[in-house]
């Protein structure tokens, strides 16, 4: 995440703010500019979901759709009379705005369901109170069980599956990885390189998942994978690795925005001035990420909390992350026609 400034008084403001706490100016996020701007500006109006989704994004005044670029991606949400799900819906939409922001930052294209009714992106945010909901992705539609935003429920599932980390934002980053797979890998020569690293994605999916959930979860997995769940199927490995790529890029962007640079004790060389956002290779990103993640883990432990980033990146996992970086750069270069 970047840092933001109130355009009236210069005060530091945050992505989620609806007003400046210093001068009282009402603020909203203008996705077309990627900035928080005074919301009473003539060229914007507030998103229609401002209240129901706690949305602080704005809609351009000449836009015929009353929903912001994030809210309009949600196809199904709990009924307004389902008050128990209202809070979970707000929390999930909040995480989704972070996701959409980051995809814009990385220049990854988002094609909505309205633009492509077969493969376009849409979110079904469903309550599992009355019927089971399986979080997942299918042909552009991401389904999310809203109970995942309930801390005690999510923590219970996390323990049951022996996962070191489980968040709503993490789910969204995983599922969007599935959405991008056909765009980034499926139709390119990279399929060969993908299979060499992740395995053959044509392996039987249903059987692989069934086996994963039937067997008792093991806290130890092969160091070729970034998580236990990544071992289930090559496409799950891809989605888990993609989510990690987004974790790393966002956290590094935040650190850079606040001038946080770690130069010790594991990185004795002076910090570079090049922010990771411009990095040509994943190694450059990793050189910044590893010392930062060690420091953040140590800071968390000082507060009696678990590690902020409870993962170890083995050489094979680093290679997979490098592949994600490579195919993203390739798609972005292709989309913007730079030919590089």
Residues that bind Zn ion (CB under 5 A): 6, 8-9, 11, 20, 22-23, 25, 47, 49, 55, 57, 68, 71, 236, 239
Q: Which is nearer to Zn ion, 47 or 184 (CB)?
A: 47
Taking the complex as a whole, the smallest distance from the CB of residue 316 to Zn ion amounts, in Å, to 20
Cis before 265? omega within 30: yes
Structure tokens at 107: 């220049």
Rounded to an integer, what distance in angstroms lies between the CA atom of residue 272 and that of residue 261? 9
Taking the complex as a whole, the smallest distance from the CB of residue 47 to Zn ion amounts, in Å, to 3
Taking the complex as a whole, the smallest distance from the CB of residue 328 to Zn ion amounts, in Å, to 18
Taking the complex as a whole, the smallest distance from the CB of residue 251 to Zn ion amounts, in Å, to 22
- Do 184 and 177 form a contact (C-beta atoms < 8 A)? no
Rounded to an integer, what distance in angstroms lies between the CA atom of residue 96 and that of residue 257? 21
Q: Which is nearer to Zn ion, 55 or 144 (CB)?
A: 55
Instruction: Residue count of the chain, please give it.
Output: 340
- Do 15 and 36 form a contact (C-beta atoms < 8 A)? yes
Q: Which is nearer to Zn ion, 165 or 294 (CB)?
A: 165
Q: Which is nearer to Zn ion, 101 or 289 (CB)?
A: 101
Taking the complex as a whole, the smallest distance from the CB of residue 311 to Zn ion amounts, in Å, to 17
Q: Which is nearer to Zn ion, 9 or 161 (CB)?
A: 9
- Do 289 and 311 form a contact (C-beta atoms < 8 A)? no
> What is the DSSP annotation of 48-94?
TTTTTT---BEEETT-S-SS-TTGGGEEE---TT-HHHHHHHHHHHH
Taking the complex as a whole, the smallest distance from the CB of residue 265 to Zn ion amounts, in Å, to 37
Taking the complex as a whole, the smallest distance from the CB of residue 289 to Zn ion amounts, in Å, to 23
Q: Which is nearer to Zn ion, 40 or 283 (CB)?
A: 40
Taking the complex as a whole, the smallest distance from the CB of residue 27 to Zn ion amounts, in Å, to 8
Rounded to an integer, what distance in angstroms lies between the CA atom of residue 213 and that of residue 308? 26
Q: Which is nearer to Zn ion, 285 or 317 (CB)?
A: 317
Contact partners, residue 302, CB within 8 Å, separation at least 6? none
Q: Which is nearer to Zn ion, 11 or 314 (CB)?
A: 11
Structure tokens at 140: 């552009």
> What is the DSSP annotation of 163-210?
-S---HHHHHHHHHHHHHHIIIIITSTHHHHHHHHH--TTS-HHHHHH
Structure tokens at 184: 């980034």
Q: Which is nearer to Zn ion, 54 or 195 (CB)?
A: 54
Contact partners, residue 12, CB within 8 Å, separation at least 6? 3, 4, 5, 6
Taking the complex as a whole, the smallest distance from the CB of residue 142 to Zn ion amounts, in Å, to 10
- Do 242 and 174 form a contact (C-beta atoms < 8 A)? yes
């Amino acid at each position: 995440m970047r840092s933001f400034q109130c355009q009236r008084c210069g005060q530091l403001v945050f992505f989620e703010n609806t007003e400046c706490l210093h001068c009282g100016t009402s603020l909203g996020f203008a996705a077309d500019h990627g900035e928080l701007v005074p919301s009473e500006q003539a060229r914007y109006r507030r998103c229609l979901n401002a209240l129901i989704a706690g949305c602080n994004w704005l809609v351009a005044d000449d836009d015929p759709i009353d929903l912001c670029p994030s809210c309009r991606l949600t196809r199904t949400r709990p009924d307004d009379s389902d008050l128990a799900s209202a809070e979970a819906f707000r929390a999930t939409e909040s995480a989704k705005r972070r996701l959409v922001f980051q995809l814009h930052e990385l220049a990854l294209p988002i094609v909505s369901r309205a633009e492509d009714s077969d493969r376009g992106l849409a979110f079904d945010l469903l309550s599992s109170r009355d019927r089971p909901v399986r979080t997942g992705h299918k042909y552009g539609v991401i389904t999310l069980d809203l109970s995942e935003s309930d801390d005690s429920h999510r923590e219970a599932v996390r323990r049951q599956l022996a996962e070191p980390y489980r968040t709503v934002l993490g789910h969204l980053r995983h599922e969007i990885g599935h959405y991008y797979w056909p765009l980034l890998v499926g139709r390119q020569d990279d399929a060969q390189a993908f299979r060499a690293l992740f395995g053959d994605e044509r392996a039987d999916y249903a059987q692989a998942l069934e086996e994963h959930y039937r067997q008792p979860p093991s806290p130890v997995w092969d160091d070729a994978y970034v998580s236990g769940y990544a071992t289930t199927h090559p496409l799950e490995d891809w989605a888990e690795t993609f989510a990690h790529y987004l974790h790393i890029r966002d956290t590094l962007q935040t650190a850079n925005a606040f001038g946080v640079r770690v130069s010790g004790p594991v990185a004795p060389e002076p910090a570079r001035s090049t922010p990771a956002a411009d990095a040509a290779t994943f190694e450059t990103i990793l050189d910044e990420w590893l010392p930062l993640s060690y420091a953040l883990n140590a800071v968390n432990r000082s507060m009696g909390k678990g590690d902020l980033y409870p993962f170890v990146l083995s050489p094979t996992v680093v290679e997979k992350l490098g592949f994600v970086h490579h195919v993203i750069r390739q798609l972005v270069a292709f989309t913007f026609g730079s030919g590089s």
